[in-house]
Structure 1
């Protein structure tokens, strides 16, 4: 039998647990925007990024959402097909396009904001009040420590 120090138990390994939890929560929330708006995860991330920040480039959206440029490109194309966003070429660099939500895209975003906030409250509501503040604080600390 292998020494306990030679075995990595995925179920208790912090990086795996964080990934697994993020995936579970993301899939659960995906049901909300899929049912309501028929969006994929990448489409939702593009919609929410533009709704939050206004005009952005595809590159900036990819960085913000940690998505590969191919996924960003497909999601942008689909939202454009739905007439939820428009593209405007950069005046100085024609290779860059500035993406902005249309009126319909902004309406979809505004429709989702209260649902997203309610989902977050429901997730946090599964914890004691003191744990709710603690998890938000600890996630921030961990992110900051990694980014330093």
Structure 2
């Protein structure tokens, strides 16, 4: 069983490298600099607006890294920053119309990629895989 677990970990590393390669190609096609910018845009769209601190927690990066990524997105007019109405010390982030447009382009590329990638699984297998991976992510975040 030790070898199986080691192989799974190594497979995750290979998958990560492959996904980074494909993801980098997709984001460059729409003018983004990194996959992290894509994840940030998606998170903001899902939450409508979010604080930089909440984004930092979601992305598992330092506040300094998050601030730099957000500033680059703001300079590209993809997000806007504003002060939290309840806590003036907190800065919130909202996506702009231009940011939504970039995200929609990425969504199309992502959907094509997902169709090509996951066609080897049936719907039930995709749901099981999603559940297993989410559980592993949550477990690793606790450590």
TM class by shorter chain equals 0.7 to 0.9
- Structure 1 residues 33 and 146, CA gap change in structure 2 (3 angstroms): closer
Q: What is the Cα deviation at residue 137 of structure 1?
A: 4.0
Q: How does 1:1-16 map to 2 (within 5 A)?
A: 12-16=6-10
TM (norm. structure 1) is 0.76
Max radius of gyration: which structure? 1
Give the Cα separation in 2 of the matches to 1:104 and 1:98.
18
Task: Kindly indicate whether the alpha-carbon contact (under 8 Å) linking 1:48 and 1:109 is maintained by their aligned counterparts in 2.
Answer: yes
Task: Kindly indicate whether the alpha-carbon contact (under 8 Å) linking 1:42 and 1:71 is maintained by their aligned counterparts in 2.
Answer: no
Q: What is the Cα deviation at residue 120 of structure 1?
A: 1.8
- Structure 1 residues 23 and 61, CA gap change in structure 2 (3 angstroms): farther
Task: Kindly indicate whether the alpha-carbon contact (under 8 Å) linking 1:29 and 1:119 is maintained by their aligned counterparts in 2.
Answer: no
State the partner residue of 1:27: 21
Is structure 2 residue 75 aligned with structure 1 residue 81? yes
- Structure 1 residues 133 and 78, CA gap change in structure 2 (3 angstroms): same
- Please tell me the root mean square deviation across aligned C-alpha atoms, in Å: 2.9
Give the Cα separation in 1 of the matches to 2:71 and 2:138.
34
- Structure 1 residues 15 and 78, CA gap change in structure 2 (3 angstroms): same
How many residues are aligned here?
140
State the partner residue of 2:35: 41
Structure 1: which 5+ residue stretches go unaligned? 1-7
Q: What is the Cα deviation at residue 76 of structure 1?
A: 0.5
Q: What is the Cα deviation at residue 77 of structure 1?
A: 0.5
Q: How does 1:87-98 map to 2 (within 5 A)?
A: 87-98=81-92
